[in-house]
Amino acid sequence: MNENYAIELKNITKRFGKVTANDKVCLSVKRGEILSILGENGSGKTTLMNMISGIYYPDEGQIAVNGKEVSIRSPKDSFDLGIGMIHQHFKLVEVFTAAENIILGLPGQELLDRKAVTKKINSLTAKYGFDLDPDQKIYTMSVSQKQTVEIVKLLYRGVDLLILDEPTAVLTPQEADRLFAVLRNMRKAGHSIIIITHKLNEVLTLSDRVSVLRKGQYIGTIDTKEATEESLTEMMVGKKVSLNIERPDPVSPKKRLEVQGLTCISKEGVTALENASFVANSGEILGIAGVAGSGQRELLEAIAGLIPSARGSALYYPPEGGEKELTIMSAADIAKAGVRLSFVPEDRLGMGLVGTMDLTDNVMLRSYKKGRSFFADRRSPKALAEKLIHELGIATPGTSIPVRKLSGGNVQKVLVGREIASAPAVLLVAYPVRGLDIHSSHTIYNLLNKQKKNGTAVICVGEDLDVLMELCDSIIVMCGGTISGIVDGRTATKEEIGKLMMKTGGIQE
């Protein structure tokens, strides 16, 4: 093991059941170096970092810190080795001040000496160029300020190796620039930094070297000086044996949904979706590609009436003629207005189904308001639940089992089955095969294709480019909240889509 490395990983393998999340991954970070880890969703970046920070323990392989082989079994072990990780979800006490959060849990003189703490924090912030008021309460802070508190917290504890998991995902470009300036100062002071990111421009401007993972495999490490956006995209996306998914030709497509200039601003004031425009036709599957958090979720939820939109419109053209504006209606109004829109959210047991309720009751969520009777009609949902079990091959002992007890694939079949049963004219699905095995995935693809043949306009957000390219008639590529391009699913190449996914600034560029 080389002593020049702050941390060195050799042949790290981690399996979850049959899934190999990391397969013989090697990685090293020198002292005073910024290393980027690049990879698509599900490429095993976070799993790898969780093994360094003590959340998981590797099945095979060695980890060495400063040349000495170590065994990291808990977050505390990792912390004792001077390793600190900043997760995407901050761990801070909201009613405490920054200083109180920074010293939380530390040993020392029992009576707090706030002045001394403030002084030490101020000297740290001055040294690295942070902008932080130690006496400010966390709940009054912006996301960027909270992130600063997290970083200072680690530095205060004497962390040498800092791991940041997609630190810029929640920051404005200006805030990201400030963060980078601080990280460069830390590098100058001899700290080592690992930054997990999807964004190629950040990799190129910030890091010294970049390691690429793809589907749990270690692809390689190159000096950033020698890297270009093209070479990194190629390493990241690679080539893959294609799955055989049916793609019938669209039959007499008609305009079903037209989205124009749709813009959404989140509660935190971040523009999550900007000026999105596209048309979805009946009898077609429209794919949406992009790294997670590029605005896909907001796009679907704005159309479904779940979140308000700041600007723009989503016009629905019913098969029987006429048009309806969706963005001014809530989800309940949309259903009441007779718009045949179905939405399969990515958070199945959070937004889609009620985990503790049984199949019949979950199917009933769609129909209980129907009819005039004082009592809800349980008979037809039960019949539908039985039909779904039979037709989709849902593995369950019966209709009266809480859905959370089913496996992921079966849960998804219940959800998709229920939504399809309402004969939608527009079907929105988000990550329909996430966490499903090949067999279940293909059942879902077949269901989507069946809808397509029935003349439904299907909009499908996916993370696996190979699948999207085989399944979809056209693909919208999103990047940083904007649509960076719309490509034909039959002719587009993976490199083309990959580049659009990484395109900074989207269409304005």
Partner 1 sequence: MGLLVIFIQKVIGQGIGILYGALGEILTEKSGNLNLGIPGMMYMGGIAGLIGAFLYENSASAPNGLVGMLISFLCAFLCAAFGGLIYSILTITLKANQNVTGLALTTFGVGFGNFFGGSLSKLAGGVGQISVAVTGQAFKTPIPGLSKLGLLGQALFSYGFMTYLGIALAIALALFLNKTRKGLNLRAVGESPATADAAGIHVTAYKYLATCIGGGLSGLGGLYFVMEYSGGTWTNNGFGDRGWLAIALVIFALWKPVGAIWGSLLFGGLYILYLYIPGLSRGSQEIFKALPYVVTIIVLIISSLRKKREHQPPESLGQAYFREER
Contacts with partner 1, residue ranges (CB under 8 A): 50, 55-56, 75-76, 79, 91-96, 100-101, 103-112, 137, 139
Closest approach, Cβ 110 to partner 1, in A, equals: 5
Q: What type of residue is 257? A: L
Closest approach, Cβ 68 to partner 1, in A, equals: 23
* Nearer of residues 26 and 55 to partner 1, judged by Cβ: 55
Q: How far apart are CA 294 and CA 273, in angstroms?
A: 8
* Nearer of residues 55 and 292 to partner 1, judged by Cβ: 55
* Nearer of residues 29 and 86 to partner 1, judged by Cβ: 86
Closest approach, Cβ 97 to partner 1, in A, equals: 10
182-187 — which CB contacts under 8 Å span 24+ positions? Answer: 182/128, 182/129, 182/130, 182/148, 182/151, 183/34, 184/34, 185/127, 185/128, 185/129, 186/128, 186/155, 186/162, 187/32, 187/33, 187/34
Q: How far is CA 186 from CA 24, 52, 180, in A?
A: 30, 20, 10
Closest approach, Cβ 279 to partner 1, in A, equals: 40
Q: How far apart are CA 18 and CA 393, in angstroms?
A: 22
* Nearer of residues 149 and 206 to partner 1, judged by Cβ: 149
Q: How far apart are CA 259 and CA 137, in angstroms?
A: 41
CB 257 within 8 A of CB 315: yes
* Nearer of residues 164 and 501 to partner 1, judged by Cβ: 164
Closest approach, Cβ 218 to partner 1, in A, equals: 22
Closest approach, Cβ 135 to partner 1, in A, equals: 14
Q: How far apart are CA 80 and CA 159, in angstroms?
A: 9
Q: How far apart are CA 501 and CA 287, in angstroms?
A: 13
* Nearer of residues 56 and 130 to partner 1, judged by Cβ: 56
* Nearer of residues 104 and 251 to partner 1, judged by Cβ: 104
Closest approach, Cβ 72 to partner 1, in A, equals: 15
* Nearer of residues 113 and 246 to partner 1, judged by Cβ: 113
Q: Which residues have C-beta within 8 Å of that of residue 463, sequence separation ≥ 6?
A: 40, 41, 42, 292, 431, 434
CB 464 within 8 A of CB 486: no
Q: What type of residue is 465? A: L
Q: Which residues have C-beta within 8 Å of that of residue 377, sequence separation ≥ 6?
A: 367, 368, 370, 371
- Rounded to 5 degrees, φ, ψ at 59 are -75, -35
CB 59 within 8 A of CB 230: no
Give the residue from 171, 169, 122 showing the smallest Cα distance to 144: 171
Q: How far apart are CA 491 and CA 509, in angstroms?
A: 23
Can you tell me which residue has the tokens 């009777």? Answer: 373
Closest approach, Cβ 407 to partner 1, in A, equals: 17
- Rounded to 5 degrees, φ, ψ at 485 are 175, 155
* Nearer of residues 103 and 467 to partner 1, judged by Cβ: 103
Closest approach, Cβ 76 to partner 1, in A, equals: 6
Closest approach, Cβ 139 to partner 1, in A, equals: 5
Strand order in the sheet with 34-38: 68-70, 60-65, 5-16, 19-30, 217-223, 209-214, 34-38, 192-197, 161-165, 83-86
Closest approach, Cβ 201 to partner 1, in A, equals: 31
Other Cβ atoms less than 10 A from the Cβ of 372: the count is 4
* Nearer of residues 101 and 211 to partner 1, judged by Cβ: 101
* Nearer of residues 154 and 264 to partner 1, judged by Cβ: 154
